[in-house]
Amino acid sequence: MDEFSLINRFFKQAVREADLGVGDDAALIRVTEGHQLAISTDMLLEGRHFFSDVDPYTLGHKVLAVNLSDMAAMGARPRFATLAIGLPKADIAWLKAFSLGFFELAERYNVELIGGDTTRSAEHTFSVTIMGEVPHGQALRRDGAKAGDNIWVSGHIGTAALALLGLKRPGSFSDEIMESIRSALETPIPQIELGLGLRSLASACMDISDGLIGDLPHILQASGGGAVICWEMIPCHSALKAWLDGDKEASKRHALQALLAGGDDYQLLFTAPPECDEQIRSLSETLGVTLTFIGKIRAAPGVFVISNDGSLLEPHYLPNSGFNHFADIK
Ligand code: ADP
Ligand code: MG
């Protein structure tokens, strides 16, 4: 199968809202009056972001999901995407499953695939550029957090990291637990509706992709100030909670690592003034998304992780930072 029949068979769809989609040298789109275009790109590479033998359906989902998560974090409504793929070979069954995973999620959020690029490469490589819209001036940026603001997270934190640990060390969890945690890693659901609902509430927002403790400083760098968070208030899966509360020292350490520094959760981390607490709780109810208060923004710099009794978490439990691809480059 040549490149063009591959594109036509698996990635070309009827044009919907774009003026021009797949098939020309570039796509043409219109931005809604009074809105800003939010644009973001994320790559997923074999060996680094996914295992070589990963289910292609879940991979198609995840390639788009991680990009949609950036739209959620900006409070943008996703609209268009481009998809660049590098493939070692044209495997029909693989491409079928991959494109199904991609388009099912795209349908769900009304995202139109308007172009991309397809090349042969030694390993599977994916890059999605996502485009969304947000009313002028209403985007959820990282630079608006103020001292005294409350810090919130959506959903559960650390589940994807726990699932990764379970895949790397088979036998760590029962099949039943594994079944309930692996979707967090393989088919994360981007918090699009939450992002839209937070437009008028959050002072700063980002999605957690590299771990809570690694990502929170990005808000602090942009906004100024520091933060105190209580690790015992961070919401997590019952399997993670069991390790945190258990008396096995090694399990507790793994659990804290997953909770504070585990990547790939794609939940939203946001700040808001305490006056917004009630509205945030009612948004949580309306959307059926757990939103949990975990700490506060302070004027003084630094991130402090405390326990329920107010004591600092012992330093040997504290991960140095979240996952950082260039941590070893000084
Ligand atoms: P060009 O030679 O101008 O780079 P290509 O031959 O790479 O164009 O692509 C032909 C058309 O197919 C373009 O409209 C491009 O956007 C689209 N396209 C290529 N690969 C993909 C893909 N993986 N998904 C969606 N559209 C794609
Ligand atoms: Mg091309």
Per-residue pLDDT reduced to its tens digit, 211-231: 999 999 999 999 999 999 999
Ligand 1 centre and the CA of 225: distance in Å?
45
Ligand 1 centre and the CA of 12: distance in Å?
9
- To test ligand 1's pocket by mutation, which of 1, 114, 117, 126 has the most ligand atoms within 8 angstroms of CB? 117
- To test ligand 1's pocket by mutation, which of 1, 4, 7, 13 has the most ligand atoms within 8 angstroms of CB? 7
Q: Does 322 score more than 60 pLDDT?
A: no
* Ligand 1 and 117: CB distance under 6 A: yes
Q: What is the token pair recorded at 296?
A: 């506060």
Confidence band, pLDDT 50/70/90 cuts, at residue 320: low
Please identify, by atom number, the ligand 1 atom nearest to the C-alpha of residue 3: 6
Rg (CA), the chain: 20
Q: Which residue is it, tokens 């692996």?
A: 182
Q: Which ligand is nearest to the CA of 23?
A: 1
- Average model confidence (pLDDT) across the chain: 95
Ligand 1 centre and the CA of 97: distance in Å?
20
Q: Does 286 score more than 60 pLDDT?
A: yes
Ligand 2 centre and the CA of 117: distance in Å?
5
* Ligand 1 and 118: CB distance under 6 A: yes
Q: Which ligand is nearest to the CA of 63?
A: 1
Confidence band, pLDDT 50/70/90 cuts, at residue 321: low
Q: Is there a contact between 29 and 125 (Cβ–Cβ < 8 Å)?
A: no
Please identify, by atom number, the ligand 1 atom nearest to the C-alpha of residue 113: 25
Q: Is there a contact between 299 and 225 (Cβ–Cβ < 8 Å)?
A: yes
Averaged over 142-154, what is the pLDDT? Answer: 98
* Ligand 1 and 202: CB distance under 6 A: no
Confidence band, pLDDT 50/70/90 cuts, at residue 202: very high
* Ligand 1 and 148: CB distance under 6 A: no
Q: Does 327 score more than 50 pLDDT?
A: no
Ligand 1 centre and the CA of 18: distance in Å?
15
* Ligand 1 and 116: CB distance under 6 A: yes
The pLDDT value given to residue 313: 92
DSSP three-state, residue 274: helix
The pLDDT value given to residue 319: 75
Q: What is the token pair recorded at 224?
A: 């100024």
What is the sign of the dihedral through the CA atoms of 161, 164, 168 and 170?
A: positive
Nearest CA to ligand 1 atom 10: 23
Ligand 1 centre and the CA of 123: distance in Å?
19
* Ligand 1 and 24: CB distance under 6 A: yes
Judged by average pLDDT, the poorest of 1-15, 53-67, 98-112, 221-235 is 1-15
Phi and psi at residue 250, to the nearest 5°: -65, -40
Q: What is the pTM of this model?
A: 0.94
Ligand 1 centre and the CA of 111: distance in Å?
17
Q: Does 133 score more than 50 pLDDT?
A: yes
Averaged over 319-324, what is the pLDDT? Answer: 56
Ligand 1 centre and the CA of 196: distance in Å?
31
DSSP three-state, residue 38: strand
Phi-psi region of 182 (alpha: psi -120 to 50; beta: other; left: phi over 0): alpha
Q: How many C-beta neighbours within 10 Å does residue 329 have?
A: 6
* Ligand 1 and 5: CB distance under 6 A: no
